[in-house]
């Protein structure tokens, strides 16, 4: 069931995170959101290690990735995800303040599935995050779990 899959939100700024969660809440998606505060945490989650060692198996429905983050930045996380055969199917949406052409080009080159610029205006931000949550968390059919990965990680 798709609804069971979490939405992984990578956001280092607590206010942005709070606003994003507030947006998700409008569609009752907030409890599906798993918040990571930097790129290292995202990778910990995906590889079930560190803080997330004991989490339930399975990939998230989508990763909403900020570009500029402490420790491991968004592009680095994206590169890791897209170069790992088991993680590659996970949809990755860049959610960032940057409209720089360089960032856009690099993100898509690394295999980002979408690129969303955070609008300054809160209502538009609300709308964007909500739509992202609805689309990737409810409408979009995520890729099936690779059996071998689940088997390899389960013990």
Partner 1 sequence: MNEPNRHQPLDVGLDAPFPAAPQAEQSLSRASFFTPLFQTFQKRSIEQRVLAGFGLVFAGILVISAISYRNMTVLIRNGDMDKRSHEFIQFLGATGEAIDDAENGHRRFLVTGDESYLAAYHTLRERAPEYIRYLRELTDPDSTQRVHLSDLEQLINQQLREERAAIELRAKTGFDSVRGMALTGVAKTALDSARRLQAQMEQEETKALAQRVIESTTTTRSSIILLTIGALLLFVLLAAVYYLIRHDITERRRTADELHRRGELLEAANKELEAFSYSVSHDLRAPLRHIDGYASLLAKAGAISLDDKAKRYLQTISESATRMGQLIDDLLVFSRMGRQEMLRGTVNLNQLIAALRHDLRHDLQDRAISWTIAELPEVTGDAAMLRQVFVNLIANAIKFTGTRPHAMIEIGSLDNGPDEAVLFVRDNGVGFDMRYANKLFGVFQRLHRADEFEGTGIGLANVRRIIHRHGGKTWAEGALGEGATFYVSLPRVRPSA
Residues 19-38 that bind partner 1 (CB under 8 A): 19, 22
As given in the structure block, the two tokens for residue 86 are 């088991």
Cα dihedral 141, 97, 24, 142, rounded to 10, equals: 10
> Counting contacts by CB under 8 A, is residue 140 touching partner 1?
no
> From start to end of 26-69, where are the E strands?
33-36, 62-65
Convert residues 53-92 into a mask of x (bound to partner 1 by CB under 8 A) and - (unbound).
Answer: --------------xx------------------------
Distances (CA, A) of 76 to 19, 62, 84: 25, 17, 13
The helix (H) or strand (E) run that includes residue 9 is: strand 7-10
DSSP letters along 108-129, please?
Answer: HHHT-SEEEEPPSSHHHHHHHH
Q: Of residues 119, 127, 134, 142, which one binds partner 1 by CB under 8 A?
A: 119
Q: Of residues 125, 130, 132, 137, which one binds partner 1 by CB under 8 A?
A: 125
Range in contact with partner 1 (rule: CB under 8 A) among 13-21, 40-48, 80-88, 133-141: 13-21
CB of 46 to partner 1, least distance (A): 24
> Counting contacts by CB under 8 A, is residue 123 touching partner 1?
yes
CA Rg, the chain, in Å? 15
Cβ nearer to partner 1, comparing 20 with 81: 20
Number of residues that bind partner 1 (CB under 8 A): 21
- Binding stretches for partner 1 (CB under 8 A): 13, 15-16, 19, 22, 67-68, 96-101, 118-123, 125-126
């Amino acid at each position: 069931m798709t609804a069971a899959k979490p939405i992984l939100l990578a956001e280092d700024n607590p206010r942005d995170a709070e606003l994003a969660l507030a947006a998700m809440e409008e569609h009752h998606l907030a409890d599906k959101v798993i918040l990571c505060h930097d790129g290292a945490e995202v990778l910990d989650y995906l590889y079930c290690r560190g803080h997330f060692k004991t989490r339930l198996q399975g990939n998230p429905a989508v990763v909403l990735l900020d570009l500029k983050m402490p420790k491991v930045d968004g592009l680095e996380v994206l590169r890791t995800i897209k170069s790992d055969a088991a993680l590659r199917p996970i949809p990755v949406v860049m959610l960032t303040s940057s409209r720089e052409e360089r960032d856009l080009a690099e993100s898509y080159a690394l295999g980002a599935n979408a690129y969303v610029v955070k609008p300054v205006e809160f209502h538009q931000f609300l709308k964007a995050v909500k739509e992202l949550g609805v689309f990737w968390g409810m409408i979009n059919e995520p890729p099936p779990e690779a059996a071998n990965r689940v088997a390899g990680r389960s013990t």
